[in-house]
Amino acid sequence: MQHDVTPPDQPPADVLSSLGRHHSRTGALALAATEVLVRRMHLGGAAMVFPAGADHAEFARMVPEKARAFADAGTALLNQTVLIGQELTGLALREAARGARVAAEVLASPTPMGLLATQADAARAWFGQWVAGAGAMARLALEAHAAVMAPIDQAAAANVKRLRG
């Protein structure tokens, strides 16, 4: 009996494209964080020279905005962890059901050659599912990364815009 192989959720090229987007976002975040750091160091230096002219509002924003961004990132991480757990649970259940079906088909094989053919078909199908599962997990990891980094990216972008301002 031939076993169906479910195609991956995303072709490998889509996963690689997504990886490229995440890499670009990480680079943009590094540049934004560096710019914010340099601009705030400048503000701090100026405040040491002339305390009365310091941008106290900017200094007061630093900790609360970081706390908010990282709290939002933590919430996103928790949500993504639940999604990944659900996907892994579904994968385990599907594979357990597949194993039970294959065992029944092997036991029902009328000849030794039929038994070997059933096992070979099952092995090919399992390998295809393994590859599809690996692709799905890579996609979920990239989506989790994007979701977790989004609040931090937004805070850094807002800081750059305000500090250039």
pLDDT, one tens digit per residue, over 93-141 is: 998 999 999 999 988 999 999 999 999 999 998 898 888 888 888 888 9
Kindly list the distances between the CA atom of residue 136 and the CA atoms of 15, 96, 139, 143, in Å, as whole numbers in the listed order.
9, 18, 5, 10
How many structural domains comprise the chain?
A: 1
**Residue/partner pairs of 30-35 with CB below 8 Å, 24 or more apart:** 32/153, 32/156, 32/157, 32/159, 32/160, 33/156, 35/160, 35/163
What pLDDT does 5 receive?
46
- Each residue of 6-18: pLDDT tens digit? 444 555 667 777 7
In a domain, 3, yes or no: no
Place of tokens 């690689």: 16
Domain that residue 37 falls in: 12-164
More confident residue, 25 or 16: 25
In a domain, 57, yes or no: yes
What pLDDT does 23 receive?
80
> The pTM is what?
0.73
Residue 31 has pLDDT above 90, yes or no: yes
In a domain, 141, yes or no: yes
What pLDDT does 129 receive?
87
In a domain, 149, yes or no: yes
- Give the mean pLDDT of 78-87: 95
What pLDDT does 2 receive?
52
For the packed helices 12-49 and 112-164, what is the interaxial angle rounded to 10 degrees? 30
